[in-house]
Structure 1
């Protein structure tokens, strides 16, 4: 292979990897900011309305004063956009190892279980004083699952578009990805790893291993998370 051809192939690989990482980061930032950030605040508002007035003024587990809307909400949206961006990049990286018909249910259930297991706990304010407890648990299991589902929908939709064919769309994806802030650092690491695999011609092997390892890992993590989540939820609701 000539030097010019190697340079051309490298450029093509780089453009392809950057596109997929950009799509994942943008989808995740949008889903995280809208569902996790805005949706999370709306969920807390609903729980405030269904709880007694005693919760007013308390500081929630995520550091916000219950019953008060401040500029800190913007920080929550950005934080959720960052977490969503990481989720989106991971999905974009692993989607090829998951059968198309299983991508939406598997990724959504995985995120709902893992997110719920990390958020739902019997200590603290959110699941002790907010009522009804069952609604609080349901909302904070639903939100990460809904965000992950939106990630899948957006990534799969944008995967049908010719990469870099629409300048305005590419700019819009870049702007959305930037909203994920520090998720871009993670995205850069994933992009570098993917590029190394392509240049070493190991992407085919990684794909074959991934088709077995990725779904299995998602199922195992989901099962363990569900076990922890159910245990915490039973103690909270009781």
Structure 2
């Protein structure tokens, strides 16, 4: 299938051949998915979660959290900081997801579930710090733990759902005229501008992911795929163990 104003070829039911245009379209789809997930989940839901915890702990108003936010204080600067941090981290996660996507197996729904657990739990393990104000002062402790686990899992789930849909061969991102897609590429990359390294890493991840896919959408090397899947399982396992250790320490 040829697309007006683009160099995409072979976008159909029998495989996708790597072209610079295809990489840009994938980057636009993944970048926009990261911006939406980071804004809605990390920004909006994250602010609501922080407000809920603050409302349950008025005596701790003014305390600085592990992430640099002041409990009970809602300011424009703090909100912009939260949205910016969430979106930037979502872009980092998007780059990682695009690198491991050729290694994921199963249907679209299964890939979303696997990614939500693997990436979400690993991120939660990094966010939860036993002994920090979020997990020592704020009551009830279980609520803080649940929120800080649910938010990264939800963010990954929203991102993966969007990007898997938008990377389908008949999706708008892969079939629309290039002049309509490229502006969205700029928007997506701008979402991660706070972390300068995100842009080259993100694009490198897309190229690597695309190269791993052959004409029939199967990874070129079955051995490479198996090794990659083992590494992904090990990372998810380490994240799970880390999270269990952190939660145990919090309630000890």
Would you identify which runs of 4 or more consecutive aligned residues in structure 1 move more than 6 Å? none
Residue 232 of structure 1 corresponds to 246
- Whole-Å Cα distance in 2 between the matches of residues 191 and 92 of structure 1? 6
Residue 109 of structure 1 corresponds to 117
**TM-score by structure 1 length?**
0.83
**Comparing 129-138 and 220-229, the one that deviates more:** 220-229
Is this contact kept in 1: 2:112–2:160, CA < 8 A?
yes
- Whole-Å Cα distance in 2 between the matches of residues 173 and 122 of structure 1? 39
Change beyond 3 A, Cα 1:170–1:207: farther
Unpaired runs of 5+ residues, structure 2, are 1-6, 10-16
Q: Once superposed, what is the RMSD of the aligned Cα atoms?
A: 2.7
Residue 186 of structure 1 corresponds to 201
Residue 88 of structure 1 corresponds to 94
Is this contact kept in 2: 1:164–1:170, CA < 8 A?
no
CA offsets, 1:126-184, max 9 Å, x none? Answer: 10111111110111111111111111111111112152514445533532332222332
- Displacement of 1:228 in angstroms is 1.5
Q: How does 1:83-232 map to 2 (within 5 A)?
A: 83-101=89-107, 102-160=110-168, 161=171, 163=174, 165-166=176-177, 167-181=179-193, 182=195, 183-191=198-206, 193=208, 197=211, 208-232=222-246
Unpaired runs of 5+ residues, structure 1, are 1-6
- Displacement of 1:18 in angstroms is 2.0
Residue 79 of structure 2 corresponds to 73
Change beyond 3 A, Cα 1:231–1:191: closer
- Whole-Å Cα distance in 2 between the matches of residues 65 and 8 of structure 1? 49
- Displacement of 1:44 in angstroms is 1.0
Change beyond 3 A, Cα 1:12–1:236: closer
Change beyond 3 A, Cα 1:125–1:79: same
- Whole-Å Cα distance in 2 between the matches of residues 12 and 135 of structure 1? 46
Structure (1/2) with the larger helix percentage: 1
Residue 63 of structure 1 corresponds to 68
CA offsets, 1:215-235, max 9 Å, x none? Answer: 322221111111121121122
- Whole-Å Cα distance in 1 between the matches of residues 30 and 224 of structure 2? 18
Is this contact kept in 2: 1:30–1:84, CA < 8 A?
no
Work out whether 1:30 is the aligned partner of 2:36: yes
- Whole-Å Cα distance in 2 between the matches of residues 34 and 187 of structure 1? 21
Aligned length: 226
Work out whether 1:42 is the aligned partner of 2:48: yes
Is this contact kept in 1: 2:28–2:181, CA < 8 A?
no
Is this contact kept in 2: 1:108–1:146, CA < 8 A?
yes
